[in-house]
Structure 1
Amino acid sequence: MTEQLRASGAGLRMKGRMSGAISQVAAAGTLIVLFIALSIAAPSFLTADNLFNLGSQTSVNAVMAVGVTLVIITGGIDLSVGSVSALSGVLGVMLMADYGFGPVLGILGGIVIGALAGLVNGLLVSVVELPPFIATLGMLSVGRGLVLIATGAVAVFGAPDSFRLLGQGVLGPIPIPVLIIVVVAILGHVVLTRTRLGRYSYIMGSNMDAARLSGVPVRKHLTLVYVVSGALAGLGGMIAASRINSGQPNFGDGLELDVIAAVVIGGASLFGGRGTVLGSLIGAFLVAVIRNGAVQLDIGTFYQNVLIGVIIWLAVWWDRYQRRKLSGAEG
């Protein structure tokens, strides 16, 4: 009987992975079709300048999506990444402009600020036991308020010109922001597939109570997940600030929508236990291509938001549909 249960469980896990893989393939296929369609409909889409800009734009969302993937795999959510990225970008620029920090220390400072915000989120979720939605919604408001307090709602200038390299530089023919995507993606994949944090994240997302009973240090690893998400939001904020060589207090308003959409479109489940870095990157590029293509076709931001929202509905509906099928199979 035990062997039959194990075989059944293994079969269900395999079906879950297949469902995620199907979502990734569907997202990749949509991305390819959309890319071809925009290349035909908007001749300026395939220009070198626009593709460079597309890669730079995607880097911010893609880097942040890797951290949010980890959070969503645990069954949580991080609604604060937009405001945390703005806070990190503004304060990172202030460290360089007002306190004489070099670009490297300024960038690291922005990442640390993001990690500290993530630490607060993690402690609220794991120790205080607030629902992730409430904890990160509160941080969204706190982060945005701190940005406005620190800047007086005025953009921060004065960072050294060398800071531009992070968001505008190239290494050979490849934009540095794209290289950052590759490095973060590789590290994220290693964390998810080769470390305890990754394994425990899947276990916690599949069944938090079972994770506790099996000896997983839930508080420690759940907190660390949010620290990683905050740190990557900080890096994303520094990349965005570097692109315009200034700290903008209004940056990141609504950015969490695009980041969460990217992760869900890429096959991660909002109910936890499923998600991959590759899928989230595909989702990030799909969202970026939709945004960029809409600009090329002179489609307003309001319509873009409607389209992204509909895509989120469809992705979550697909996830629920697949889960019902798996539940039926289990029964």
Structure 2
Amino acid sequence: MYTTGLSKHKVKVADIVRTMISYVDNIDIKEHTKHVERKRKAIETHSSAEGSPVVAAVRSLVDKLRSEPSFYRTLVHDQSSEKTPICVSNNVIHRISLFTRSSEQYLFPESSENKNKHIINGNQLLEWWIGILDGIAVQRKWQCYVTIPGSDSESMKKYISKVNGSWTLGSIFDKNENSPAIYTIPLLPDDPKGRFLEHLVVEGRHKTVSTKDFWEELGFRQEFRIGNVVGILGCELSLDTKQGSNKLPKPVKRAQYRQVIKAIKRADFSDSEDVRSLVEREIPNLIGDVYEDVIGTQDTKHPKIEKRLAPVVNNITGLVKRKKQ
């Protein structure tokens, strides 16, 4: 309720978000993949097949079908005969990718109607996220990047002029600017970069547009030309997996996650009763009891604000009028 304006309590959401990111970043990757298994195909090796195991498997099936056509009816989608655990390297690259765009309401419908909701513009939102990531970057020694498609370098530099961590203009996906963007830019849900990649595929230019050209053209897209600052942030760190200490939270199936998102988008966040019903009943019914009690402390003391007296005005010309009592 704090980010929707339904609560009048003063809570530093930035501290909560920073703590959540730090927790996820410090999850033991090996713990995460411990119960994940990779299926290995039972491939019959063909004496004349060399190179790709896929080619060997296809040739083996062709020979089998030629000699015994009825074998086709016994084929199943997955012919796995055994499972092998996923081996995680002792060194992995942690990455965070953020897209900042200010809006009166995005995830919480009708929340903009709440008078207590604090709505900020694109400049403030970008600075807010940089401040959050910078606090973690200093502790974890991340390398961070910021880019504002369609903006010049001097304008972007002002956002990182007062940071304490290591920040650079650019993106975590710019390791090879001359490589086609389709091979370097990931497809993420509800992401303008991904939508532009799909647009390049439709136009048939996905094999010719380099990563460098991708960022330049992205700045001319409507989402970046609306008169509000839209930023793309990224942080990365090569980390020894042995350093991970936090346990993996209770997993939620993708289908359940989608149901929760739909439930949130159906709710009316200008109605406190509707939100309370969503949190206390609807979400637990969809994914079970996943809430955990978090106990903490917050300094509620505020510096004493001295009452400012009205300045004394010398009425030289007689134009100052006193307010009638």
Where on the TM-score scale, by shorter chain, does this alignment land: which range? under 0.3
Q: Which has the larger radius of gyration?
A: 2
Bigger helix fraction: 1
TM-score under structure 1 length normalisation: 0.19
More strand by share: 2
* TM-score, with structure 2 as normaliser: 0.19
